[in-house]
Amino acid sequence: MDVDAPTAAERESTDVGATEPPTEPPTEDEERTARVTVEELNSIRLQLIIELRRQEEGGSTGGRGRGWFDVKGLKESQLVDWYLEQLDTTSEAELNYQRRVIRGVIKYLVKKEKVLVEVVPMAEGEESLFTLHPSYSTD
């Protein structure tokens, strides 16, 4: 898998924050920019990959089968909930921050690293599924 070499600034931290403008004034926990170090990004990436591989091997289709084309993956809400369950925090502010972090990391892994593939639903109102890119190797 070809990956562009990170710049010096990217090696220190990666911005995974949302790019959408806020609709209300930010609260104290929302003012914290969702930034992670490369080590944190690598750790989250590995955790997500392991969970997605586990789901694929278990045969989960995320609740959506399409006849001959069964998509194996997890919805974003399932990935976010799973990740938050792994954390040892009870603070609502920290959970909200970590929720923004994991969503940003998922977007980063889809758009920049192309490790994850987003399968967009054909029907409105359904969530996209996320699965590992077919040519991604964990070896």
At 21 the pLDDT is 38
- Contact indicator for 48, 80 with CB cutoff of 8 Å: no
At 101 the pLDDT is 93
Q: Is 61 within the bounds of a domain? A: yes
Q: Is 7 within the bounds of a domain? A: no
Q: What CATH number should be reported for the domain holding residue 42?
A: 1.20.58.870
Number of domains comprising the chain:
1
Q: Give the CA distances from residue 31 to residues 16, 27, 35, 97, 134, in Å, rounded to whole numbers and listed in that order.
A: 14, 6, 12, 9, 37
Q: Is 114 within the bounds of a domain? A: yes
Quote the distance between the C-alpha of residue 120 and its chain's center.
15
Q: Is 80 within the bounds of a domain? A: yes
pLDDT tens sequence for the chain (139 residues)? 444 445 555 445 555 554 443 444 445 545 556 788 999 999 999 999 999 988 888 755 454 444 435 667 889 999 999 999 999 888 899 999 999 999 999 999 999 999 999 988 888 888 888 989 888 776 6
At 1 the pLDDT is 40
At 32 the pLDDT is 58
Q: Is 101 within the bounds of a domain? A: yes
Q: Is 53 within the bounds of a domain? A: yes
At 11 the pLDDT is 47
Q: Is 22 within the bounds of a domain? A: no
Model confidence pTM above 0.75:
no
Instruction: State which residues form the domain around 126.
Output: 35-132
Rounded Cα gap, residues 12 and 54, in angstroms: 30
- Contact indicator for 98, 106 with CB cutoff of 8 Å: no
Q: Kind and range of the H or E element at 78? A: helix 76-86
Q: Is 116 within the bounds of a domain? A: yes
| Token pair 């989960």 in the structure block, residue | 60
